[in-house]
């Protein structure tokens, strides 16, 4: 799909991987809806980018907010052609400790945000995408979800996070198959260690250890490298139903 002139909705689009994606898609000529809980950052990014961009204050655990963000894309730009799901967060807690079992409500919240929130955005965006005018290749839309290498190499204490991201991976092929008749593709990116606001809080020794475990290049990924892969997925019509690790060949150790 040619990005120029299309409309993209990016959840978690006000910071980190989402922000880099917003910037790249906008630079390539897309209209962009920044969907995020942080209005201050979202408004600032809109002001910086200028035209062809708007902000939707969105909590992806609230389905009415997700629907409103999708509807804003249609109201403002006439359609939604590209969905990139970057909203999500992590949590560290072992399944049991001396204090007791893992907090069930916390587990449910991580699943609700990372997995159910992704599914909800997909279903609302796809519902609108099916009405798009098809391209010459018959495409009506492209969906890019964000998982994590934790879906495959979950570390100790990542039970909720790993489960949620494994669920995103598990949905990918099914989404692609369900939406094939409408000409809507779906892929998932599973990032490794990236420079984001969250990883900025890591202790230096933890960062150094992760960098040492990365075969090449020996550094954290750059947010725009994630956005580059989003661009490739959108533009390459034969990429569909696949989860792509973007991780410098790291395989996470148990802890």
- Looking only at the bridges linking them, the beta strands covering 96-97 and 184-191 are unpaired
238 C-beta neighbours (distance < 10 Å), count:
7
Token pair 């519902």 in the structure block, residue = 127
Distances (CA, A) of 99 to 77, 106, 107, 110: 52, 15, 16, 21
N-to-C CA span, the chain: 40
Which member of 91, 107, 161, 220 is catalytic? 161
Rounded to an integer, what distance in angstroms lies between the CA atom of residue 241 and that of residue 238? 10
Q: Are 162 and 151 in contact (CB under 8 A)?
A: yes
Rounded to an integer, what distance in angstroms lies between the CA atom of residue 161 and that of residue 175? 21
Rounded to an integer, what distance in angstroms lies between the CA atom of residue 81 and that of residue 153? 32
φ, ψ of residue 53 in degrees (nearest 5):
-150, 145
Catalytic (active site) residue 86:
no
Rounded to an integer, what distance in angstroms lies between the CA atom of residue 138 and that of residue 119? 24
Give catalytic residues, as residue numbers.
Answer: 161
């Amino acid at each position: 799909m040619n990005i120029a002139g299309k409309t993209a909705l990016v959840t978690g689009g006000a910071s980190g991987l989402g922000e880099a994606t917003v910037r790249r898609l906008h630079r390539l000529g897309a209209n962009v809806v920044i969907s995020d809980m942080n209005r201050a950052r979202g408004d600032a990014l809109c002001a910086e980018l200028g035209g062809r961009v708007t902000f939707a204050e969105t909590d992806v655990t609230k389905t009415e907010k997700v629907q409103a963000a999708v509807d804003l894309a249609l109201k403002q730009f006439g359609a939604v052609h590209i969905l990139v799901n970057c909203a999500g967060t992590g949590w560290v807690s072992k399944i049991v400790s001396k204090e007791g079992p893992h907090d069930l409500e916390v587990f449910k919240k991580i699943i609700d945000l990372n997995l159910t929130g992704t599914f909800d955005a997909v279903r609302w965006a796809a519902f609108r995408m099916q009405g798009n005018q098809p391209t010459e290749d018959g495409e009506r839309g492209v969906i890019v979800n964000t998982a994590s290498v934790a879906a495959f190499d979950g570390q100790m204490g990542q039970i909720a996070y790993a489960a949620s991201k494994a669920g995103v991976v598990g949905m990918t092929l099914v989404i692609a198959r369900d939406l094939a008749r409408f000409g809507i593709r779906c892929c998932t990116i599973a990032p490794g260690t990236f420079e984001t606001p969250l990883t900025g809080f890591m202790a230096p020794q933890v960062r150094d250890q992760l960098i040492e475990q990365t075969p090449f290049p020996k550094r954290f990924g750059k947010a725009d490298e994630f956005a580059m892969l989003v661009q490739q997925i959108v533009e390459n019509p034969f990429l569909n139903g696949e989860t792509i690790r973007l991780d410098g060949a790291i395989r996470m150790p148990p802890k």
